[in-house]
């Protein structure tokens, strides 16, 4: 009975420790422990005054924190975090005290009832509980209450469960005005849109005498566009180094190099727009982040400081491995490798009009790539990065078909699958189909009619890309950044181009139907200087840039190059200037002017103005 009564009385003891009392006992900032009593005496001698600048608080800890903010010792966000912590701990302590009181009352009642039943009237008991036992029991109850608070999430109301805290949402939005201005002198008839042909109905070459019979991209009429880009992503930390991510984005078609949605397209009249799966991947990181493996659809794994070869918004499908390691302070080599399917043959690819139906062999296309380089920090102000990459676009070269009968636009030949499934403009093409000529007056009349053709790439593409960047941060936060890239297609054959290419040729030597010499090429380079803040994050952050680009027709695959300069593709040269300025936290405006001209083939030039309002979260 003595033990039960002692335990009950102990549980009635208060459990909370006042943070305010601890704060009052703490010396003020700038005082030593010896000086604190003197300060306390002066405080007692004066009557406290209520400040009109900030409401007083009954909690001494909050008062102290507010005082430290006023004196500039703490920032406002740090003060709010400390106040929140104090309130949470006080809340937990109050709950612990309530639970302890309730348990003590129950124990007291049980002990009283037991005592009344076991002892005759008039019996007296004296309860004594040692202090060490009180402290031990108090600590046990506190731990029990804290564990329950964390499990049931009532210690910090509004806090997400642990699994939800490992999910991060992010996104951005961009509204753009774009003006496209074509000078006089462009050859509209020569601006053949090979992508429109290869992704639609084949083109009848017998109509080539009519220069406007083939689909062409705009080369003469100015256009004004208002465009939107919106992206929303999610990344989840799956523990043990694994993460998974998804991102959706706007886009008026499935172009790999644009997520822009032009207002007024898709039927107009404020019609709704579609969204696309833009990213979807699983990533693993190990060795303290020095090794990364990615699978799915993810950002460009190769380091590329410019848009010369890879457009900055391009997503890569496939598998990639990235590795880096700091071998000595300030010097970190890196390596990247990967395999990426560009095209996968449809199960039903073939000819259904034969008996039995004929299915084509697979003609899958792949990109294999590797890159090595290093990042060197010479001092806190100077950083240099360098990389060399080699890419092999496997099976992208077009192949001449076996002799085939073509009488209708829906007829199929056995190498139609070798045509590009997406292109911009600039690469060199030839006709894929080896059409059987019929007798004069019959069928295609000795190939003078019904020559429905698709077009494939003349050459192969195995470019080597050299990239470099020098960051001069001597005037930090203002930086001077020099970017440069050079590309050379090592698989290029000028003799093959001269023999087969139907575009990117010079003037006819006789002024007639004889094609002129091939005047495209296999090299390209870009140089750019940027001055200002490295990133635009806050109000009035700024930077400006200027550069020059020269990219010959077959230096790389035109499908994946910049989609803005010259309205996309290769076979372009010219300059560009622009700048950014912060309008608030994570809100900024961009202005760009790009002037491009064709290098080879028919005359073509275009100036592009872009004015953007950007926001990210």
Q: What is the pLDDT of residues 45-68, one digit of tens each?
A: 444 444 444 444 446 677 777 777
Strands (E), 99-197: 167-181
How far apart, in Å, are the Cα atoms of 152 and each of 97, 156, 157?
A: 18, 10, 10
Give the tens place of pLDDT for each residue, 159-171: 667 788 899 999 9
Phi, psi of 226 (to 5 degrees): -115, 130
Note the pLDDT of residue 259: 94
The confidence score (pLDDT) of residue 50 equals 43
The Cα 281–Cα 239 span in angstroms is: 15
Structure-model confidence comparison of residues 157 and 604, the more confident one: 604
Secondary structure of residue 297 in the 3-state scheme: strand
pLDDT band with cut points at 50, 70 and 90 for residue 441: confident
What value does the mean pLDDT take over residues 228-256?
A: 95
Nearest alpha-carbon partner for 250 in 177, 318, 301, 174 = 174
| Cα angle for residues 236, 237, 242 (degrees, 5° grid) | 115
Is domain 165-616 in CATH 2.40.160, yes or no? Answer: yes
DSSP-derived pairing of the beta strands 572-584 and 587-598: antiparallel
Across the range 280-302, mean pLDDT stands at 96
Rounded CA gap, 533 and 589, in Å? 14
Contact at 8 Å (CB) between 401 and 431?
A: no
pLDDT for res 579:
98
Q: What is the mean pLDDT of residues 282-290?
A: 95
Q: Are 169 and 224 in contact (CB under 8 A)?
A: no
- Structure confidence at residue 498 (pLDDT): 95
Instruction: Specify the long-range contacts of residues 311-316, CB closer than 8 Å, at least 24 apart.
Output: 311/257, 311/560, 311/561, 311/562, 311/563, 313/257, 313/258, 313/259, 314/256, 314/257, 314/560, 315/256, 315/278, 315/279, 316/340
Q: Which residue shows structure tokens 């909370």?
A: 16
As a whole number, the mean pLDDT across the chain is 84
Distances (CA, A) of 319 to 299, 315, 365: 11, 12, 15
* Least confident range of 154-158, 345-349, 483-487, 576-580: 154-158
pLDDT higher at 242 or 96: 242
pLDDT tens string 371-384: 999 999 988 899 99
Identify the pLDDT of residue 206. Answer: 85
Domain range summary for the chain, segments of one domain joined by +: 2-159, 165-616
pLDDT of residue 445: 86
Residue 43 has pLDDT above 60, yes or no: no
């Amino acid at each position: 009975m003595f033990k039960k009564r002692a335990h009950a009385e102990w549980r009635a003891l208060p459990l909370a420790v006042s943070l305010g009392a601890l704060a009052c006992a703490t010396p003020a900032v700038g005082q030593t422990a010896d000086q604190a009593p003197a300060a306390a005496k002066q405080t007692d001698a004066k009557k406290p005054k209520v400040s009109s600048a900030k409401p007083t608080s009954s909690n001494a800890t909050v008062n102290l924190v507010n005082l430290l903010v006023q004196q500039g010792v703490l920032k406002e966000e740090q003060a709010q975090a400390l106040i929140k912590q104090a309130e949470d701990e006080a809340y937990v302590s109050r709950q612990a005290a309530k639970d302890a009181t309730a348990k003590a009352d129950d124990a007291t009642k049980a002990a009283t009832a037991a005592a009344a039943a076991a002892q005759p009237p008039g019996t007296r008991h004296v309860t004594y509980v040692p202090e060490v036992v009180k402290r031990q029991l108090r600590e046990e109850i506190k731990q029990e209450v804290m564990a329950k608070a964390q499990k049931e999430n009532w210690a910090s109301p509004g806090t997400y469960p642990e699994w939800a805290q490992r999910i991060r949402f992010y996104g951005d939005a961009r509204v753009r005005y774009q003006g496209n201005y074509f000078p006089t002198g462009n050859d509209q008839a020569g601006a053949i849109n090979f992508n429109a042909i290869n992704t639609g109905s084949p083109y009848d070459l017998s109509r080539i005498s009519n220069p406007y019979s083939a689909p062409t991209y705009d080369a003469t009429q100015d256009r004004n566009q208002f465009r939107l880009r919106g992206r929303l992503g999610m990344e989840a930390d799956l523990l043990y180094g694994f993460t998974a991510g998804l991102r959706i984005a706007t886009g008026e078609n499935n172009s790999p190099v644009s997520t822009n949605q032009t207002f007024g397209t898709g039927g107009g009249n404020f019609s709704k727009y579609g969204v696309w799966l833009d990213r979807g991947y699983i990533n693993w990181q190990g060795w303290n982040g020095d090794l990364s493996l990615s699978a799915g659809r993810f950002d460009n794994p190769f380091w590329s400081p410019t848009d010369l070869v890879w457009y900055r918004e391009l997503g890569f499908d496939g598998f990639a491995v990235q590795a880096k390691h700091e071998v000595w302070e300030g010097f970190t080599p890196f390596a990247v490798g990967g395999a990426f399917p560009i095209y996968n043959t449809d199960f039903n690819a073939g000819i259904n009009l034969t008996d039995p139906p004929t299915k084509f062999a697979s003609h899958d296309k792949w990109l294999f790539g590797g890159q090595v380089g290093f990042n060197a920090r010479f001092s806190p102000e100077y950083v240099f990065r360098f990389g060399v990459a080699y890419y092999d676009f496997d099976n992208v070269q077009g192949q001449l078909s076996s002799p085939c009968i073509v009488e209708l636009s829906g007829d199929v030949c056995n190498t139609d699958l070798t045509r590009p499934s997406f292109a911009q403009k600039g690469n060199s093409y030839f006709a894929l189909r080896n059409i059987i000529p019929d007798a004069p007056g019959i069928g295609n009349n000795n190939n003078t009619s019904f020559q429905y053709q698709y077009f494939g790439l003349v050459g192969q593409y195995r470019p080597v890309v050299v990239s470099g960047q020098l960051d001069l941060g001597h005037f930090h936060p203002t930086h001077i950044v020099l970017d440069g890239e050079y590309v050379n297609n090592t698989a290029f054959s000028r003799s093959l181009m001269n023999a087969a290419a139907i575009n990117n040729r010079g003037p006819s030597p006789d002024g007639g139907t004889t094609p002129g010499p091939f005047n495209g090429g296999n090299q390209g380079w870009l140089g750019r200087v940027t001055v200002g803040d490295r990133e635009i994050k806050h109000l009035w952050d700024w930077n400006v840039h200027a550069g020059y680009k020269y990219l010959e027709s077959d230096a790389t695959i035109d499908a994946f190059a910049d989609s803005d300069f010259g309205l996309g593709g290769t076979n372009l040269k010219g300059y560009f200037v622009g700048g950014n300025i912060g309008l608030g936290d994570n809100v900024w405006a961009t202005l760009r002017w790009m002037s491009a001209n064709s290098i080879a083939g028919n005359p073509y030039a275009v100036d592009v103005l872009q004015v953007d309002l950007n926001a990210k979260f």
